[in-house]
Amino acid sequence: MSTAKIDRIINETKEKKKISNFVTLSFIVSLLIIDFLPYFKSLEIINPQFLYLSVINLIFGIYFYFNTNVLSNTVFSLLKRSYIFRLYLAFILLCGISLFSAKNSSLVFTKFTEIAIVFCLFINLTILLKDKFDLLYKIVLIIGISAFFQSLQQLQNFLIIPKNTSIMDLLWSMKGNTGNINILAASLTIKIPFLLLGITHFNSYKKIFFTVTLFSVVSVIFLTGARTPLINLFLIFFIYIVYLLKENTFSKPGFIKIIYLIVPVLCAVLYTNSIFEKSKDNNRYVALENRIERINAEDNSSKARLTFWGNAFEMIKKNPILGIGLGNYQIESIPYEKTTSYDLIVSLHAHNDFIEISAETGIINGLIYLSIFILIFSINLKNVLKSNDSHTRLTALLTLMLVIVYGVDSLFNFPMYRPTMSIFFSLILAFTVLNNFKDKNLQQTSNKTIKIIAVTLIVVSLITSYSAFLIYRASNLEYLIVTDNINVNTKGALNGDEVMRRMPAYPNVFNTSESFYEYAGIYYIREKNYSMALKCFSRASKINPYLGRIDFYKHVISNEKGNIDSAYIYVKKAFYRYPVNYGIYSISAAMAAKMKDTTEILKEHALFSKYRNHPEELNLTLSNLKTAGYNYKSQLNFINKSLIKSPADSTLLKKKKDLLVTDYLVKGQSFESQSKLDKALEYYEKALKTDPNSPYPLQNIGFYYYKAGQDKKAISYLLNALKYPGLYDGKTEFFIGICYLREQDKANACKYFNIAKNKKYSQVNQSILQSCK
């Protein structure tokens, strides 16, 4: 054996002892803590989480700088030669270049900060895990403990359900420290591969612990009602069971291991279904088999995703090279959704990271990002199938399952911007790079170069930490504004000047995509400082003009100033910017009615109803048309035209009936005033025939017979009229009493006089009541 080869082996052996196991495991533990961090008064949990991860990167960067001797002198050469590292670096660079095509550079800085933090995380994990795969099962145990407490935190609410507690409230409140219920499910799902390894590797109490943890984790996943994790569960269980059967050649120990995996899942299914039965929900929280059956393209959430993807592809067509700018999807998608997303609820993400990245940073970068997953999958699959080393196969299998979970979630959600998922993406990258390369022919890095790399990590982590702190401060301001609920309230803890003083550099929009300047303007409106409000709205409209809110608040200002014409112009602008927002539509249509602009009412109705079927919309339109002076025939014509499109619409049929009844009654009263009594009765009876359940024709016929002196007939019709809702003023009861009095039935007369009195009918005077004594 050559001297050089002997030296290399000696160096490799020494390197394995350089970085302490404690440091490596401490880093893993510190990453998993993010699932238990509080919100720190930020609106989005991801902001303090990313700040925390960046600080962790900084701490370990400093550690590396002062302990360069513990770093592997081949790890950087390994990274340099890795195609995964090269692709990932190219991906990050293209994300940064998208700044030049972005309308909102603030969002580019925000999202680039998050991506850079994850990249540094990947580098740190690669350094720390170099020659540390002997710690794999300790890492498995650490992640198992994290998964146990994370799931138990949610499951404890269902173990003993207090009386008078709504199960639906408990189910909907499940989100942990991940942001929402679907991310919670994804965060737990990506930990399951570690649990599977733990169950099949450990014995005695550790095996029991991992079995109980698997039951707990799977139960929480099922309780969330999320469907993407169901796909992932099937895939990873299938792959792992096939692996066990292959490794154990269909032996008894192999089947016992499989039983240990399946039993907790079956118990979780039974437990979850028992909770769902108590919830009595018919939508999300139904039996598990129903949730599986609903995984199809016809489901509402699937249709929504298809719409988002279609919109993203339209953006790609318009900006194929550089895209619309990293992070800009949450604003630039709004014009595409203005006829499909109701009441200012925008998508924020395309619910597919690959498509979203392509839309934001260009097709080339989208393909690079996709190729990273394809490469990771193929490398680890090859190692599982062909490697002769059992430890390499097992590590590759674990990584394969992790990339499947993350990849499938990337197809339907947005794990890229969720720290609880991003740490596992970094782990996937590190595992693949380290498990696929050996130290053959790797160039050793000098201590000086290692120090320069450590300094670079420190500088980058300092920059990302400062940037993440700015993002956190913006989230804290958003939290305070949302707490004030200034959209509704007239004042809050903050004021316009305070919001302007704390105006963030980035991000410059809320998590819901409205500009911070927009909210500063709303505060100034509440304070009657209209000049400052308009200045804020002017700046806000350059950031996000698409929702119509800015024009709406300009309408509010003009209205409060008494500039009705300007107010009308602004509210129409607000409506046409986002024509499916019922709140703005109702105000705009009411303003059109006030301005007697029936043409505008009909125009807005046609546009709104084209895209949205709102139960109150037809009533609103008919009421506004009536207010605007639309005559009976025109209203009826409008209803008839609407009935052609929706012949079975109960609201339209009822309105038509009401209009006909009103018209017959008006005409009957007109004939009665002309002493054409027979003609009046004819129209009253037409009204009754049109709607036998309306009290008003019965009342009018009763009054007709009262005037005609036919008291018995009058009493019959008036009593019948009282059977239906609508007569509340006591008038009908009063005239029933008069008829009974004329029929010498004093008891019934007094009965109805007293009812009329209780209803405060004005004509029930003392002289009438005197007759009842």
| Cα 344 from Cα 556, distance rounded (Å) | 18
Can you name the residues that pair with 509 across neighbouring β-strands?
515
Question: Which pLDDT belongs to residue 464?
Answer: 97
Question: Which pLDDT belongs to residue 287?
Answer: 55
* Per-residue pLDDT at 1 exceeds 50: no
40-54, 606-620, 752-766: range with highest mean pLDDT: 40-54
What is the pLDDT confidence band of residue 111, given thresholds at 50, 70 and 90? Answer: very high
* Per-residue pLDDT at 288 exceeds 70: no
* Per-residue pLDDT at 691 exceeds 70: yes
Both tokens of residue 232? 């992932």
What dihedral do alpha carbons 621, 626, 632, 635 form, nearest 10°? -10
Question: Which pLDDT belongs to residue 15?
Answer: 46
218-222, 373-377, 758-762: range with highest mean pLDDT: 373-377
Range(s) for CATH 1.25.40.10 in the chain? 480-633, 693-773
Per the CB < 8 A criterion, the answer to whether 705 and 720 are in contact is: no
What is the pLDDT confidence band of residue 628, given thresholds at 50, 70 and 90? Answer: confident
Q: DSSP of 296-365, one letter per residue?
A: STTSHHHHHHHHHHHHHHHHHHHSTTT-S-TTTHHHHTHHHHTTTSGGG---SS-S-HHHHHHHHH-HHH
Q: Please, what sign has the CA dihedral across residues 495, 497, 500, 502?
A: negative
Both tokens of residue 589? 């249509």
Q: Where does 202-284 have alpha helices with state H?
A: 204-224, 228-248, 252-279
Q: Which of 390, 391, 384, 420 is nearest to 405 (CA)?
A: 420
Q: Which of 428, 420, 405, 418 is nearest to 228 (CA)?
A: 405
| Cα 717 from Cα 407, distance rounded (Å) | 73
What is the end-to-end Cα distance of the chain in Å, rounded?
A: 129
Mean pLDDT over 637-651 rounds to 76
Instruction: Give the Å distances, CA to CA, from 628 to 223, 596, 631, 754.
Output: 52, 4, 9, 40
Question: Which pLDDT belongs to residue 161?
Answer: 66
What is the pLDDT confidence band of residue 310, given thresholds at 50, 70 and 90? Answer: very high
Mean pLDDT over 361-382 rounds to 96
Assign residue 280 a region (left: φ > 0; alpha: ψ between -120 and 50; beta: otherwise): left
Mean pLDDT over 129-137 rounds to 91
CATH number, domain 693-773, options 3.40.50.720, 3.30.565.10, 1.25.40.10, 3.30.950.10: 1.25.40.10
Can you name the residues that pair with 515 across neighbouring β-strands?
509
Mean pLDDT over 552-556 rounds to 95
Question: Which pLDDT belongs to residue 283?
Answer: 59
Mind spelling out the 3-state secondary structure of 631-700? CHHHHHHHHHHHHHHCCCCHHHHHHHHHHHHHHHHHHHHHHHHCCCHHHHHHHHHHHHHHCCCCHHHHHH
Question: Which pLDDT belongs to residue 571?
Answer: 94
Q: Which of 506, 537, 543 is nearest to 519 (CA)?
A: 537
SS3 136: helix
Question: Which pLDDT belongs to residue 273?
Answer: 83
Mean pLDDT over 341-349 rounds to 82
Lowest-pLDDT choice from 21-30, 478-487, 683-692: 683-692
Question: What number of other Cβ atoms are within 10 A of residue 772's Cβ?
Answer: 15
| Cα 157 from Cα 164, distance rounded (Å) | 13
| Cα 187 from Cα 522, distance rounded (Å) | 37
Q: Which residues contact residue 296 at a Cβ distance below 8 angstroms, ignoring those fewer than 6 apart?
A: 302
Mean pLDDT over 688-716 rounds to 88
SS3 509: strand
What is the pLDDT confidence band of residue 647, given thresholds at 50, 70 and 90? Answer: confident
pLDDT in tens, 374-398: 999 999 999 999 988 889 999 999 9
Q: Please, what sign has the CA dihedral across residues 194, 195, 196, 197?
A: positive
Question: Which pLDDT belongs to residue 286?
Answer: 59
Lowest-pLDDT choice from 180-194, 460-474, 663-677: 663-677
Determine the CATH number of domain 480-633: 1.25.40.10
* Per-residue pLDDT at 291 exceeds 70: no
Q: Which residues contact residue 523 at a Cβ distance below 8 angstroms, ignoring those fewer than 6 apart?
A: 486, 492, 494, 495, 496, 499
* Per-residue pLDDT at 97 exceeds 70: yes
Q: For the chain, what is the radius of gyration of the CA atoms?
A: 36
| Cα 104 from Cα 114, distance rounded (Å) | 17
CA 7, distance to chain mean position in Å, is 58
Q: Which of 273, 196, 297, 294 is nearest to 241 (CA)?
A: 196
Question: Which pLDDT belongs to residue 248?
Answer: 76
Both tokens of residue 562? 């008494």
Both tokens of residue 486? 């200034």
pTM: predicted TM-score of the whole model, two decimal places = 0.84
